[in-house]
Structure 1
Amino acid sequence: MTDGDVSMEAPEPAARAEPFWYAKFQRNGDWYVIPDSAARLGAAGTFDLEAFNVSGLVRRRSGGANPLPVKNADQESERYELTVRLLDRNGAAAGEGSGTLLVGIDNQTIAPVGAEGRISVPPGRYALYSYIVTPRASQEPTYATIMHPDLRVTADTTTTLDARIGRRASVTIDDPAARGGLSLIYGLTKMDGQSEPLLWASGFDPRFHEVYAASVAGATSDRFAFAQRESRREPEVELFTTGANGFEVNATWFDTSPEPELRTKLTAVHGGQGRPEDLAGIDATGKLVLIELPGTLTNEEAYERIRNVQAAGAKVGMVVTDRPQTLSTASSKASSKASSTAPFTVPTLFSRKASAVKLADAVRRGAVSVSLTTHPVADHRYELAFTAEARVPARLQQRARTKELATVQNAYHGSGSRYVQAALRFFGGALDHRWTFRMRAGVSGTEHFTPGTWSQSTHGDHGALDYLFAPDITLRAGKTTNVSWNKAVTGPGLLGDGPWAVRDGNTIQTSLPLYADGAGHPRWPSSRSGDVDKGSQTLYRDGQLVSSSEVADTGTFDVPADTARYQLVCDIARTADWWPLSTKVNAAWTFRSSAADNGKPLPLLTVRFAPDVDLNNAAPANRAFTIPVEVERQTGSAPARVTSLTVEASYDDGATWQPAPVIGRTVRVQHPAARYVSLRAKAADAGDNQVELTIIRAYQLR
C-alpha cells in the first residue's frame, strides 16, 4: 500500500477556510495520518493510534486483514512523565486550538498532547511539534509552530514551547495574481526503523493568517528538517468592502454551493437568520444577502434558509456562523455533489472569521458596497519550497522571483477540469499535501516550481476514477519542462511505481493500470471502478483456465510452483459520458513463470501510442498521419529484445480493421472522414513474451 493509494481514496477540496495541522508517517509498513482533531483525544486520554491507520482502513474496505500487531515502545514498562507547557505570543497559557504532537525518534511513540498536558512516555529521544494559537480582538488569531528537534527524556521532564520566540514566516511572489492558495510549515523527523521520515504539516491562507515558527534555542538534530511550502494561485474568492475604510473578507464557498466565475460589484444587505420573516422587509433582488446562522443548525436547516435567500431574489448569498462543526462540512459536500438534486442554486459564500463578523456588523447597520471576484479554476500556479536541516533557520521571510524558478508547461488534455498536486522530494521523504488546485482542462498552462526533484499527480472531475501519476522529474532554474496529462492514447501502462503484476510464491497478483495516458502516466486502479467499468480478468495456465474475476484491473491467482506458460486476459469497458475515448480495452499477455520468479515483476509487454493530438485529443481527418509507437515492458522485469510488432487501425469502432505499416518507431495510417480511430497491436520479444492489445476509440478526428 502506498501513499498514492491513500490519497486516491479521499481527495480533499481545493481550498480550506480554516488553518490546520496533520502528521503523516509509516509504521510497521502501514501509513498513518493524524489530523488536528486528534489533539482533543490526546487531551482526554482517549487517543488510539490505530484509529488513524489509513492503510488498514483501505485494507478493510477491500476485505483484507490487518497484519498482526508488533510490540511498540509505548508498551514498555519503564516510563516517565513528560509535561509540555505551551505559551502564546502574549505569554499566556495557550488555549483552544493549540496542541503538541510528540514523536519518538528511537521508539516510534506517536501521540498528541493538549495545550498544557502530561503524557507518560518511555525513556528516549523525542521531537515535539507544537501549534499555538494566539487570539486577537476583532482580528484573525496568530499561529506559531514551535518545534523541539530532539528532546532527551531520561527522567520526569517539563519543557516549555513559547510562541514568543517564533519568527514571522512568509513568502512573497513577484506575481500579484498568485496571492491565494495554501502556505504550509513542515517539520520532518527520521525515526528508527522507518524508510521515510514522519511529516508534520500546518497549513494557512497566505492572505489572512499571520504565521510564526522557530525551534527551541540550541536544539538541533541530524534527524530533523524544516520546510516552508507554498502552493499558490489566484484566490478562489476575493471579497472586499469598498470605500476609504474597505477591507478584505475571509470567505470561501458554502458547502454545496455553485462556484461560478464572477467579477461583480454588489450591495450587501442583512437577511437576519434567513427566515421568511427576516427577509420580508428587505429588497434582496440582485444583491448579496448576508445571513447569520447558529452553528447548531443541521445542514438541511441551513439549506432551507439559503433557499429562502434564493427565493427573495439574491444574486449571491453569504452565511456567517459562530461554529463550523455542523455547517459547510466536506462530507456533506461530497454526498450532495453525488446526489442528482442540488440543495440550492444561488451562489453562496461561507465564513466564521473575524473579518466576516466585521462585515456582518457593518451590514446590520445598513447596506454596504462590496466587490466580489471568484476564480473557480486557476490560471496561475506556483509550487515553492524553502528547506533547512537540523533546526528552523533564522530567516523565514522568503521572496520568490519567477525568473529564478523552473517552468513546467503542463498540458491538460480533454474537457472539464484537472485537479493538480505536487510534492518536492526532500530529506528522504516528500513535501506533499492532500489539497488540490483546480485547473482548466483543454489548455496548456505555464507553471512555476522551485528547482528540485518533484512528483506531480492530477485527477479529473471524477476523483479516484481518474487519477494520473507522473514519475519524479528534476526541475532546473530557468529551464522549461513539458508535461502532457490525459493525452491520447489511453491504454495499459506498466512503467513507474509498481510492480503491477508480480509472482509471489505460488500466487500471481495483479493491479494493472489499464488506463495509463499517452505519456505513460498510470491511472491507479480504484475501488470505485465498478461504478462505471465492466469487465473481467482471466488467467490461463498452459491453455487451461486457472480462474476468472469480474474485476478487470486487479486479481489474485493461486498457481503451481513449476514453470508454465501463462496467458492473462483483461477486458474492460468504461461507459460514462465524461469518458469519450478508450471506451473498450482488451489486453492479452503471454509469458512464462514459476515459483523461482518469487518477488519479481512479471515480464509483461505493452504497446504505447503517442499521436500528435490537440488538447481535445483530436487529430485531423482526411489525411495521412504518423503515430509514434513504443513497445514497453513492466518496470523491473527482465529485458529482452523486441522481435515483432504489427498494428491495425479501425474507423468504425472495430467492426473492420486495416493494416497500418510499422516503420521504425512509427505507425502510418490514412485518416478518413470518420469520428474515431481504434487501434489493435501485437508485439513479442526474444524472451517469448507476447501482448495483444485492442483499444476502441483510441483518439478522435476533427
Structure 2
Amino acid sequence: MWGRGTVMAVPGVVLLGVVALAAPAGAAAEAPGRAPAGGLRAEGGAYDVTLPTGDIVHVAGAGTSVTPAPGRDPAFTVSHDNGDLYVVPDDRLSDDPERYNVTALHEGRRPVARPKASGELVTVRVRSIARDGRPGLGVANFLNVEDGAGGNARRPLPGTKDQPCTDASWEDADCIRLRPGTYSILGLIKTLPSWAPSTSGATPLNYSLVGSPEVEITGDTEIVLDARKATEVTVATPEHATAANPGTISHLMWTRSAADGTAVDDGVLMPPGATLEERLFLQPTARVRRGSFEMYTRWRLEAPAITMRAAGVALAPRYYDAAYFSDVSSQFPRLDGRAVLRVADGDRPGADLRGRLALVQRKDGVPVAEQSNAAAKAGARMVAVYNDRPGVDDETGGAGVQLRVPTVRLSHEEGRALLRRSGAVVTAKGVVDSPYLYDLVFPETGQIPKKLHYIARTRDLARVENSYSGADSVTTGRYSRRPWEEYATAYTFPLIGAPRTRVEYLSADPGTQWSARAATPEEPYNHAFPGPETPFLRLDEAKWTSYKPGARASHAWFQAPLTGGVNPLSPISRTGDRIRLRVGLVDAAANYSDAYSSLFPGGFVTDFRVYRDDELVAQTAYLPNGTLTTTPGEATYRVQYDVANNATWARSSTRTKTAWTFRSAQTQATTTLLLLQVGYDARVDLHNRARSGVLKLTVRHQDGSRTPLKRLTLAASFDDGTTWTAVPVKDGTARLHGRGMVSLRVAAEDAASNTIDQEVIRAYELH
C-alpha cells in the first residue's frame, strides 16, 4: 500500500539534502522571554514560497519539500537554471515557468534577464505527437550545447499557433527563434486515455521523453517530437515477483551540459497515481559529442499489492488512491491473503452480493465511495469498479468518505468480459506488506540506448536488511543522488506491519549514493479524518552510501535507547567567533532526528541551553539549530538538551537529558568541536526488549579524534529514575540486574576534560 507522506508529514515530494527544519508555524524562534541577548540565532536560508497554484515550496538549506494545496496532487517538474530553482506543477506546463521561479519569488525580484540572442536567428517550430497519434501535452526544452546561451528555453506542447515567434525563454507559442548552432531539444510528452481530450487535465496513461540531446539547427525548420518513436522501459526481477504498484516509477531526471560547462538539470517527479499505467517511454538517441548528457529513471518494485485471476479473462486490478478515502493506511481496506470470490453484478437490482466480488460500473456524478459502500452494505466482500468508457480511469467522483471493503478499479474491457461470463469466479490475492523492496536507479550516460530492458538480479544489487522497531506503523523513504544532483528527491510510503524487517535491494554502482528516512508513527498523507495531534519522530540515516554489487548490509531504525545527539552530516563547529549548533535525538543505530517543543499538549517538550563559563548565553524551546556569536577568548561551554516525549505512542525513551562540555576559542578555519557521543548496544529485539542484562557502551568524538577516555560511569534505575544504582563498567561492558523498564545514566570524560552526561528514562525493557 502506498502513501503520500513526506518529511513534513504532509502530501508532496521531498527534495532532501541536509535538512534544516524551521521552527513550527506560529512559534517564535526562541521561547518568549527566555533567550538571553546574543543568544542562538535561527539558521539562515530557510523560507517558504507559495506558488500561484497555492502549492507551498519549503526551502531549508540544501533541503526542499513541496506541499500541494488542498485538493491538488500533481507531479512537479524541478530544474535548476541560471542559479534559480524552478518548481512547476505538472498541470501548469502551459504557464510561464517564471511564475514558478522559487528563488525569484522569495527574493521579491524579477527573474534574471537573459541576454538577447545576437546575430542571425532562425525559426524552429515544434509539433508534439502522443503515443496514440494525437497531439501530445507536455513541454519542450532547448539548450545551446556550444555555449549554453539563453539557458534552458521552454515551449509548452502543443503550443499556440499563429502566435508571434520570439527568442524569449518562454512564450505560449508553437515556435522559437534560435541562433543557428547545436542544441539539445528534448520533450516530455503525456499520452492520455482515449476517452479524454489529448491535451486535457486527465490523469495520463504514461510519459515519454523524446527528441535529441544534440541536433544541428542551420535554418528554419520544424521539430517533431513523436512519442511513438520512444521505447518502453521495462524491468525484470527474476528472483522475486514484482508488479507496477502505484508509485513504481517516481523519477525521470536528466542533466545536459554545454561545451563550456554550463549545465541545466531537469526532470519530472511522479507521485503514486501520477499515471494510470505506471509505464515510461524513452526515445533512443545518438551519443553526444559536445558537453555531457545523463538521464536516469528510478523504480520502486514490491510484491504485487493486488492480483486477480479468472478463467478466460486477463485482469490488471489497481487499488484507488488511498488519499481520497483515508488519512493513514490503517483506514484504507486492503485484501490480505487469498480469496476465491464469485462475481456478482452490483448494478443489478436485487443481486445477491453476500460474500462476493461486486462488479459495478463507474458513473458520472456518483462517487466511487458511494458505489462501493452500498455494495458493502449489501454484503459484498470486495468491490471492483470498471470504467464506463474504453480503457481505464482513476476518477473517484469525490473524497472524504472511508471505504468499508477493498475496492479496485478495472478497465471497461475487463469489466464487460467478467459480466459476459455467467457464474465467473475470481481468485484474488493481496499483499499488504511486501517482504522485499527493489529500489533501482538506471542511469544512461552520453546517450539513450535502444535497449531499455533492465534485469535486476540480486547478485548485481546491494542487499540491505532494514529492521523497524517498536512501532505499529512507520513511514519510510529512500533518497538517491547522482554526482550532478545538488539535491535528492523521494516520495515516502507507509510500512504497515511494523515492527518488522524487510529486505531492500538497491542499485549498486559508485555513482549512485543512497540515504534513507523513517518516521513514526505513520505520517498522514491526507487530513480528511483528523485524529488527536501527535508528534512524529523522523529519523534520517546519518550518511550517504554507494554500494558495490553483491554488498550486504543491515540497518536498524527506532532501536532503543533514544538519546540526545548530534548529526554527523551537520556537526557542531566553530568558524571565527561563530559556533554552529544543531542537536536532536539519535537512536542506537545513530539515525538522527530534529526534535523541538510541540505546539499542542501530548507532544514533545524540549529545553535547549548554552552556557559560556557557567553564564547562560542562549536558550530555546524550539528548534535547536542555529549560530551562536560568542567571544574570541578560550572559554568552557556547556550545551544542554532536555527532551520529554509525552505522546501516547511513546513506550520507551520518554525523557532524556544530555549535557556536553568542551573548551573552545576563536578559530581561523571551520573546526569541528570535540563533543563526546555515547553509543548503546543492549541487543534489543524488534520490540525494544532485551533478554540479557549485558549493555555495551562506546564513547567517541564527533570529529573522529582519538583523545583517550579518562572516565566512564553508569547508573541504572528500574523505577523511572526515582532511585539509582551504580553499575560497574569494564572495557565498555556492563551487566544490569533487574526486570522491567530500565533507565540509564552515563557520564564520560576524556583526557582533555571534554565531558558528556546523559540520562534516559525508560531506555528499554529488560526481561
For the aligned pair, the TM-score class normalised by the smaller chain equals: 0.7 to 0.9
Query: In the superposition, relative to structure 1, how do residues 682 and 26 fare at CA in structure 2: closer, same or farther (>3 Å)?
Result: farther
Q: CA deviation at 1:237?
A: 2.3
Moved more, 539-548 or 135-144: 135-144
Distance 2:430 2:336 in 1: 5
Deviations 1:389-417 (A, max 9, x none): 11112221122223343322222222323
The 3 A distance-change label for structure 1 pair 207 and 93 is closer
Distance 1:584 1:126 in 2: 60
Q: Shift of residue 634 of structure 1?
A: 3.0
Q: Within 5 Å, which residues of 2 pair with 1:261-660?
A: 261-272=336-347, 281-293=350-362, 303-319=369-385, 327=396, 343-351=401-409, 355-362=410-417, 368-429=424-485, 433-436=490-493, 438=495, 440-453=497-510, 454-459=513-518, 460-463=520-523, 465-499=537-571, 501-503=572-574, 508-514=579-585, 516-525=586-595, 532-551=603-622, 553-554=624-625, 557-594=628-665, 596=667, 599-620=670-691, 625-635=693-703, 640-660=707-727
Please, which of 84, 95, 98 is the counterpart of residue 136 of structure 2?
Answer: 95
TM-score (structure 1 length as normaliser): 0.79
Cα distance per residue 1:429-462 (max 9 Å; x no partner): 3775324363643333333233225423132333
Match of 2:746 among 676, 681, 698: 681
Q: 1:472 to 1:250 in 2, by over 3 A?
A: same
Alignment-mate amino acid for residue 585 of structure 1:
T
Helix, strand or coil for the counterpart of 2:477? Answer: strand
Deviation at 1:511, TM superposition (A): 3.2
C-alpha distance in 2 between matches for 1:512 and 1:211: 42
Distance 1:111 1:197 in 2: 10
Deviation at 1:225, TM superposition (A): 0.8
CA 1:369 to 1:649, structure 2 compared with 1: closer, same or farther past 3 Å?
same
SS in 2 for 1:612: coil
Secondary structure at the aligned position of 1:511 is classed as: strand
Q: Which residue of 1 aligns with 2:199?
A: none
Report the aligned-residue RMSD: 4.2
Question: 1:156: Cα distance to partner?
Answer: 7.3
Aligned residues: 647
Alignment of 1:34-183 (within 5 A): 34-39=88-93, 43-45=94-96, 48-50=99-101, 66-67=106-107, 72=112, 74-78=113-117, 83-89=125-131, 92=133, 94-96=135-137, 98-101=138-141, 106=148, 109=151, 113-117=155-159, 120-121=167-168, 127-134=184-191, 141=205, 143-150=207-214, 158-181=222-245, 182-183=248-249
Would the alpha carbon gap of residues 536 and 613 (structure 1) be closer, same or farther in structure 2, given more than 3 Å must change?
Answer: same
- Judged with a 3 Å threshold, the aligned counterparts in structure 2 of structure 1 residues 598 and 439 are, in CA distance, closer, same or farther, namely farther
The secondary structure found in structure 1 opposite 2:413 is helix
Give the whole-Å Cα distance in 2 for the aligned partners of 1:386 and 1:655: 56
Please tell me whether the aligned partners of residues 27 and 194 of structure 1 are also in contact (alpha carbons under 8 angstroms).
Answer: no
Partner of 2:733: 667
Q: Select the structure with the greater relative contact order (CA < 8 A; seq sep ≥ 6).
A: 2
Q: Give yes or no for contact 2:597–2:622 (8 Å, CA) kept in 1.
A: no
Q: 1:223–1:390: 8 Å Cα contact kept in structure 2?
A: yes
Change (3 A) 1:191 1:308: same
- Judge conservation of contact 2:474–2:522 (CA < 8 Å) in 1: no
When residues 70 and 493 of structure 1 are mapped into structure 2, their CA distance, relative to the original with a 3 A threshold, is farther
| Contact 1:286 1:315 (C-alpha < 8 Å) held by counterparts | yes
1:85 CA drift (Å): 2.3
Structure 2: distance between partners of 1:141 and 1:588: 56
**1:226 pairs with 2:301:** no
> Contact (CA 8 Å) 2:464, 2:505: kept in 1 or not?
yes
Task: List runs of 5+ in structure 1 lacking aligned partners.
Answer: 13-17, 58-65, 273-278, 337-342
Could you tell me how far apart the structure 2 residues matched to 1:210 and 1:646 are? 58
Specify whether residues 399 and 650 from structure 1 end up closer, same or farther in structure 2 by C-alpha distance, changes over 3 A only. same
Question: How many angstroms apart in 1 are the aligned matches of 2:764 and 2:305?
Answer: 34
Aligned equivalents of 1:692, 1:196: Cα separation in 2: 49
Deviation string 1:346-390 (CA, Å, 9 cap, x unpaired) is 124254xxx422244456667753332222211122223333211
State the SS of the aligned residue for 1:308.
Answer: helix
Q: Is the 8 A contact 1:412 1:486 kept in 2?
A: yes
Q: Contact (CA 8 Å) 1:498, 1:635: kept in 2 or not?
A: no
Pair 1:104–1:379, CA change in 2 (3 A): farther
**For residues 431 and 692 of structure 1, do their structure 2 counterparts lie closer, same or farther at Cα, with a shift above 3 Å needed?**
closer
Give the fraction of aligned pairs with identical amino acids, expressed as a percent: 22
SS of match in other structure, 1:381:
strand
Q: 1:195 and 1:489 mapped to 2: Cα distance? A: 48
